[in-house]
Amino acid sequence: MALATSAFHTYSATSGAVGNREDLADIIYRIDPTDTPFYSGIDREGATATNHEWQTQALAAASTSNAQLEGDDNVTATATIPSVRLGNNTQIQIKIPRVTGTQRAVIHAGRADEMDYQVMLNGLALKRDVESSLLNNQAKVAGNETTARQLAGIDAWITTNTDKGTAGGAADPTSANGTSTRTDGTQRGYTESSLKNVLQKIWTSGGKPDVIMMGAFNKQVFSTFTGRGTPIENQETMTITAAADTYKSDFGVLRAIPNRFQRPRDVLVLQMDMWADSPLPGRNMVSFPLAKTGDTDRRQLLIEHTLVARNEKSSGGVFDLTTS
């Protein structure tokens, strides 16, 4: 078969149909992940200063010798245990999309206005930045005229209920106040015994964790723990179950959640209502135009917030884990 002589065709820009319109779908496909399970799952509480503070309270240790004589009038007052005052600095995080006047004027595929589209994309990216900062191993920084303030991430708070490596200098933060970071040690495999160790410590401290959060590799390791070592095939539904999303422990039932934006070497065991994100008023994921300079438009997307560790003893973590 051959192209008919003198047939008008689409193959050549010089001899073909140069007036044919392009075929560009009016949909833009995006697969970059935007789910932020920690930031989306914790509480919100308002901050009113760049150093947001709160208090924690401990009870006296339980006593087996608390026995009193009948009618005894020679009593001693119980020692007072003061509350502990903690704080975290707010951190400003921004994205600034900028679009020329020409780009806003031309006809687009997949979006009506280029600036609106870029604001949407940058908003999603900013949310990912927030998740990463909250789950990072960074200490708080007060900041000054030349240094930006930084919030202390979750790894700087969890010090009590941990299971860490024994080599390579592995160490918990020196204080449970966000001023120091975790010292990473030599990585080792994630085991169920390490998870059970943390769960026992949290329960002894009084915590009631409800979430196990981990990266992709260790989520797959988790799915091989006791009872899930062998995939189960349901012949009726033709489904192979090789994952575990719930862990029923001696101390309660926990949801297992993968998180793309936490450190993959950490497995966090969290009582979610004991963590909160605290934004300053009017600075919680806001968008506003910046002064126009030349033939471009700019918008600033901004959040100023901090992480609140209401009581780090409610949670814990398995640290120094392999990631591949």
| pLDDT at position 221 | 95
Token pair 């308002």 is found at 46
| pLDDT at position 232 | 60
Task: Confirm whether 5 is domain-assigned.
Answer: no
Q: Mean pLDDT over residues 285-293, rounded?
A: 94
| pLDDT at position 168 | 94
Q: Looking at this protein, which amino acid is placed at residue 16?
A: G
The total of structural domains in the chain comes to 1
Lowest mean pLDDT among 14-18, 84-88, 201-205: 14-18
Instruction: Name the average pLDDT for the chain.
Output: 91
- Count CB atoms within 10 A of the CB of residue 223: 16
Quick: pLDDT tens for 265-278: 999 999 999 999 99
Domain that holds residue 287: 37-53+84-318
Task: Confirm whether 282 is domain-assigned.
Answer: yes
3-state secondary structure the chain: CCCCCCCCCCCCCCCCCCCCCCCCCCCCCCCCCCCCHHHHHCEECCCCCCEEEEEECCCCCCCCCCCCCCCCCCCCCCCCCCCEEEEEECEEEEECCEEEHHHHHCCCCCCCCHHHHHHHHHHHHHHHHHHHHHCCCCCCECCCCCCCCECCCHHHCCCCCEECCCCCCCECCCCCCCCCCCECCCCECCCHHHHHHHHHHHHHHCCCCCEEEECHHHHHHHCCCCCCCCCEEECCCCEEECCCCEEEECCEEEEEEECCCCCCCCEEEECHHHEEEEECCCCCCEEEECCCCCCEEEEEEEEEEEEEECCHHHCEEECCECCC
Residue 9, pLDDT above cutoff 80: no
Task: Confirm whether 12 is domain-assigned.
Answer: no
Task: Confirm whether 271 is domain-assigned.
Answer: yes
Task: Confirm whether 98 is domain-assigned.
Answer: yes
| pLDDT at position 134 | 98
Quick: pLDDT tens for 176-191: 999 999 999 999 999 9
Quick: pLDDT tens for 151-181: 999 999 999 999 999 999 999 999 999 999 9
Strand 162-163 versus strand 211-214 pairing type: unpaired
Quick: pLDDT tens for 229-283: 555 666 666 566 667 889 999 999 999 999 999 999 999 999 999 999 999 999 9
For residues 36-70, one letter each, b for 16 or more C-beta atoms within 10 angstroms of the residue's C-beta and e for the rest, the string is: bbbbebbeeeebeebebebebeeeeeeeeeeeeee
Task: Confirm whether 284 is domain-assigned.
Answer: yes
| pLDDT at position 241 | 62
Task: Confirm whether 3 is domain-assigned.
Answer: no
Contact by Cβ (8 Å): 135, 115: no
Residue 316, pLDDT above cutoff 60: yes
| pLDDT at position 3 | 75
Quick: pLDDT tens for 87-146: 999 999 999 999 999 999 998 888 889 999 999 999 999 999 999 999 999 999 999 999
Q: Mean pLDDT over residues 51-75, rounded?
A: 91
pTM of the complete model: 0.88
| pLDDT at position 12 | 64
| pLDDT at position 223 | 92
Separation CA 113–CA 202 (nearest Å): 51
| pLDDT at position 166 | 93
